[in-house]
Amino acid sequence: MKFFYLLFFSLLNISCSIKYKTSEFNLSESPPEPDYSNKESWAVLPDLWNPYLEEIVGKPKLKKSDVFFIYPTLFLDKKNPKWNTDIFDPSIRNDILKKAVAYQASAWVKAANLYVPFYRQAHYRIFINPYSEQGHEAGILSYKDVRKAFEYYLKHYNQGKPIIIAAHSQGSLHAKKILQEFFDGKPLQKKLIAAYLIGVKIEKSMFQEIKPLELPEQTGGFVSWNTYKKNKFPKRYKDWFQGGIVTNPISWNTEKKSQESQHLGVLYSDKKIYPKSLSVEIIDGMIWSTLPKVPKRFFLSFIKNYHFADINLFWADIQKNAVNRSETWFQQNTQ
């Protein structure tokens, strides 16, 4: 039976009582550092495609905009004591290309040239007590890779084009830091089309000048949301979600509700788009979604946490919105 391709992300709803094999972080035991001058350290470049991505969006066409995508946590093995992934591990690379790139990053391909660096992502247990303090440096190491990749991208690939920053989950935590360090109140902010900081709590106070986007064609700011089943709350709602910025990823405005008739489409595991498949309601810090109308939806009825599908549920909506914001940016900056 096929569920959403990222069904295993339902592990993010897992109880903190689960035990992980672990060890003290040791920098000397970290996997080899990526070299972003080498294409082997990139999952996707405009001239470095893969068949999984091509099945969904076709072959690449050069655009006037770029999107820098940072993928979510895929390192979930409870028996692996390592803190960071080895980007040269074939199974890791395959997961990123087949899952995060094909089913998530693909949403922005119609709007912009796609850049996806491999990085030494931290193990999921970094987000769970008592491991979070023990693995703090693993998260720092992950961000250092993302930062180096972005610096290389700016110097060697960007060539002055406007930029979309897109990310999910752990990737959005790194993307937030990229915005703070490179864009917020700095000259590069003028090149920011939009930042899609999906799957984490983002508060207004995290940025000085970058603001939440409240209209579907606004540029220069950010959008964010976390998705849960309608009328359900996560156990750590107050800590992880309440008070965060929530964007309606169907209307892209301040409306608290959107109907099925407005929904452009879910990207499902069969690589097909299912429009008019769900409705949403905005609550404090989260989106409530109805059970999507997709094949074998019965099996999804047992899942409350839709974090694994934060992007998939609104794939076609994101695609159109990214194109609209990119076009608006050029209209505003070529007059």
Decide if 264 is inside a domain: no
pLDDT digits (tens, 9 = 90+) for 153-189: 999 999 999 999 999 999 999 999 999 999 999 999 9
Number of domain units in the chain: 1
Which segments within 157-307 are labelled E, that is strand?
A: 163-168, 192-198, 221-223, 227-229, 257-258, 266-267, 273-274, 280-283, 286-289
Decide if 211 is inside a domain: yes
Closest CA to 322 of 114, 34, 74: 114
Decide if 286 is inside a domain: no
- The Cα–Cα gap between 272 and 298 comes to 18
With a cut of 50, list the residues of the chain below it in pLDDT: 1-17
Decide if 68 is inside a domain: yes
pTM of the model: 0.93
- The Cα–Cα gap between 119 and 224 comes to 22
- The Cα–Cα gap between 28 and 49 comes to 33
pLDDT of residue 131: 61
User: What range does the domain containing 215 cover?
Assistant: 7-246+318-333
Decide if 266 is inside a domain: no
Decide if 291 is inside a domain: no
Rg of the Cα atoms in the chain: 19
Decide if 273 is inside a domain: no
pLDDT of residue 8: 35
pLDDT of residue 191: 98
